């Protein structure tokens, strides 16, 4: 930023830097912390928050009815994510806090532990280093709306709330066969997960309240309080059917909790279309630019315009164009950098096609700060490329384009004067496709470490291809500094 000129203009590169470093997300987290905790020393609080660097750590609530598999799932998640596993039982298992004795007294008198005491106990536990730095998984709590409100009042806000569900008949059948290892606390089942070890079988014991009537009473209490909890976490809850194999349930939960958090940060589309000649890159770029208002950047067209304008860069490019040689990479990158680093492209976004053609050009493009956040590879066979390009014709009088198979001229006199571009002969098209396949072999693997990539079959209706591209655009981009 140049402070010597007025008005001050923010360089477009700063927007790309803010997106790569997730500055918007960082500011959002800091503001949320100030609003939730209301610290007396805001600056000191923010410094401590930044030093923790725990914005991406898991904070998961795992809820569900009895026998839905919460304990087993929490144990697996804890091992997989390397985070502490918390539950009402683990919070009361030892005298790690002065509040534990108070809670144990309520439990000894068979009285219900107050919601505020649970919240204070959990708040102290979450302030320990393992939870601060690694995150946490809280299983089976809160069970009521009052408990959920107590957690919210104590500023215990989960990132993900996973709720398991299954028919009551299935849950009762599961609970009747549930057995627990008193040494390891691992859960087994007489039908679905019976251990082969005879010694382990001998020491397994039924869980408390695993009878049919006890399970029915617990299910009734759960259903009575479920909707109160739903009102507290309705917008962030993920419902998962527990009436399926445990491995499938775990995979769905992991997919949910490992997904990047939603962000309201403004992100401009920076789309790169790659593919052989005839794949439809120009058409798809035009459709994207028309629908989303992004800047359509065709590398080949820009080179022709630069030469036609007679600029200094165009004069350097003209000999290459006149002799049919590829324009030098440094000239192309200079031209693209000037265009894509303009304020319009940073605000509206862009779609680029025609460059890069090989891995060396792709690396040079990243070094020039041209970084796409979506990359699409349109794939067609050489025969389809020949069919699409070798049948193209142009009317030399009107300049209108036709295709002998897909869009023939309606009038005979127009058809008779149509001409074929020398580049569209079958031999020329096959040479271009062969050159593309030879040079672009490493592009897909290269861009996989830079941005989300997708390989699309372009041998179908253009509107279908466009719909596939749109389905990938709604996914949040992966921010990467590149290889």
pTM of the model: 0.64
- Domain range spanning residue 397? 270-473
Q: Tell me, yes or no, whether 27 lies in a domain.
A: yes
Q: 125 and 13 in one domain?
A: no
Residue 6: its pLDDT value, please? 64
Q: Which of 257, 292, 325 is the endpoint of a domain?
A: 257
Q: 133 and 30 in one domain?
A: no
Q: 98 and 49 in one domain?
A: no
Q: Tell me, yes or no, whether 482 lies in a domain.
A: no
Please say whether the beta carbons of 12 and 344 come within 8 A: no
Residue 378: its pLDDT value, please? 93
Q: 146 and 106 in one domain?
A: yes
Residue 3: its pLDDT value, please? 57
Q: 72 and 33 in one domain?
A: no
Question: What's the CA gap between 106 and 460, in Å, rounded?
Answer: 69
Contacts 24+ apart (CB under 8 A), 88-96: 88/118, 88/140, 88/141, 91/118, 91/121, 91/122, 91/125, 96/125
Q: Which of 257, 283, 307 is the endpoint of a domain?
A: 257
Residue 476: its pLDDT value, please? 56
Q: Which residues of the chain fall below pLDDT 50? A: 479-483
- Crossing angle of helices 115-126/98-108, nearest 10°? 150
Q: Tell me, yes or no, whether 481 lies in a domain.
A: no
Q: 92 and 78 in one domain?
A: yes
Q: 383 and 302 in one domain?
A: yes
Residue 209: its pLDDT value, please? 60
Q: What is the CATH number of the domain that holds 437?
A: 3.40.50.300
Q: Tell me, yes or no, whether 64 lies in a domain.
A: yes
Residue 5: its pLDDT value, please? 65
Q: 97 and 10 in one domain?
A: no
Q: 327 and 242 in one domain?
A: no
Number of domains in the chain: 3
Q: 88 and 210 in one domain?
A: yes
Q: 82 and 35 in one domain?
A: no
Q: Which of 35, 56, 77 is the endpoint of a domain?
A: 56
Q: Tell me, yes or no, whether 308 lies in a domain.
A: yes
Q: Tell me, yes or no, whether 338 lies in a domain.
A: yes
Q: 384 and 357 in one domain?
A: yes
């Amino acid at each position: 930023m140049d402070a010597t000129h007025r008005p001050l203009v923010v360089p477009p590169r700063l927007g790309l830097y803010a997106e790569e470093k997730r500055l918007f997300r960082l500011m959002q987290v800091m503001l949320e912390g100030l609003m939730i905790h209301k610290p007396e020393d805001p600056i000191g609080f923010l410094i401590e928050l930044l030093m923790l660097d725990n914005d991406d750590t898991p904070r998961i609530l795992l809820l569900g009815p009895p026998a839905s598999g919460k304990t087993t799932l929490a144990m697996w998640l804890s091992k997989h994510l390397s985070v502490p596993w918390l539950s009402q039982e683990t919070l009361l298992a030892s005298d790690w806090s002065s509040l534990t004795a108070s809670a144990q007294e309520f439990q000894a008198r068979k009285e219900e532990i107050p919601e505020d005491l649970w919240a204070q106990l959990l708040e102290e536990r979450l302030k320990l280093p393992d939870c601060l730095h690694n995150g946490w998984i809280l299983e089976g709590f809160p069970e009521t709306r009052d408990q959920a409100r107590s957690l919210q009042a104590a500023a215990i806000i989960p990132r993900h709330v996973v709720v398991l569900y299954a028919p009551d008949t299935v849950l009762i059948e599961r609970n009747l066969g549930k057995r627990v290892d008193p040494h390891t606390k691992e859960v087994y089942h007489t039908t679905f997960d019976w251990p082969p070890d005879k010694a382990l079988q001998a020491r397994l014991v039924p869980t408390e309240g695993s009878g049919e009537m006890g399970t029915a009473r617990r299910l009734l209490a759960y259903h009575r309080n479920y909707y109160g909890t739903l009102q507290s976490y309705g917008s962030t809850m993920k419902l998962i059917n527990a009436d399926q194999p445990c491995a499938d349930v775990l995979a769905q939960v992991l997919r949910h909790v490992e997904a990047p958090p939603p962000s309201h940060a403004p992100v401009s589309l920076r789309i790169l279309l790659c593919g052989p000649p005839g794949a439809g890159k120009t058409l798809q770029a035009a459709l994207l630019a028309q629908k989303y208002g992004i800047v359509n950047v065709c590398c080949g067209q820009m080179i022709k315009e630069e030469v036609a304008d007679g600029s200094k860069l165009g004069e350097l490019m003209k000999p290459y164009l006149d002799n049919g040689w590829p324009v030098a990479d440094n000239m192309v990158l200079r031209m693209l950098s000037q265009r894509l680093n303009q304020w319009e492209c940073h605000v509206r976004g862009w779609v680029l096609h025609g460059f890069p053609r090989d891995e060396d050009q792709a690396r040079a493009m990243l070094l020039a700060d041209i970084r796409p956040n979506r990359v699409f590879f349109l794939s067609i066979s050489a025969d389809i490329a020949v069919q699409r390009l070798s049948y193209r014709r142009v009317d030399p009088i009107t300049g209108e384009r036709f295709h002998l198979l897909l869009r023939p001229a309606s009038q005979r006199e127009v058809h008779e004067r149509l001409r074929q571009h020398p580049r569209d002969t079958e031999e020329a098209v096959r040479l271009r496709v062969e050159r593309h396949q030879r040079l672009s072999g490493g592009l897909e693997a290269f861009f996989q470490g830079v941005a989300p990539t997708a390989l699309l079959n372009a041998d179908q209706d253009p509107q279908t291809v466009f719909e596939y591209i749109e389905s990938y655009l709604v996914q949040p981009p992966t921010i990467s500094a590149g290889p």
